[in-house]
Amino acid sequence: MAEDKDDESRFRVVDRRGFSADGTRREVEEDREKDEAQETSPPPARPAPAQRVQEAEDDLEATAGGFETLVSYLSTTAMFQLGLLAGPGGERIPADLPNGHRTIDLLDVLREKTRGNLNQNEAKLLDDVLYELRMTYVEIEKRMHAKEK
């Protein structure tokens, strides 16, 4: 069954319309010659199993970089929401604590769902980011409550 999936598809589409894209009448013999030439060309070569394994490992390494990018993106979003970063024009963005809290919670969900699947550096990055964001959130929340009194 798995072998069937590895076979290249022999599906072929032949344009049998009487006119070409520029509106001129097609020559039927030209099309037949093109079809015959395509049929005789060999299918593209498949990479060797060792090469496929290496490509899969390379994809896995790229995913690790993607994980760090995801953590960076979410942490930067949380910092914007906590009012720690200036806007695109340099203007101050007021803190949005409910959304900042949701983004921090989202990072925590990511940590829980990836537990045991991260390498040591990835786990440390996520733990450090969560710690810093949580401490910053508490500090900002205290300041905001102190201003209200």
Give per-residue pLDDT as tens, 77-133. Answer: 999 999 998 888 888 888 999 999 999 999 999 999 999 999 999 999 999 999 999
Q: What is the pLDDT of residue 112?
A: 96
Q: Which residues pair with 25 in a beta bridge?
A: 19
The pTM is what? 0.56
Q: What are phi and psi of 146, to 5 degrees?
A: -65, -35
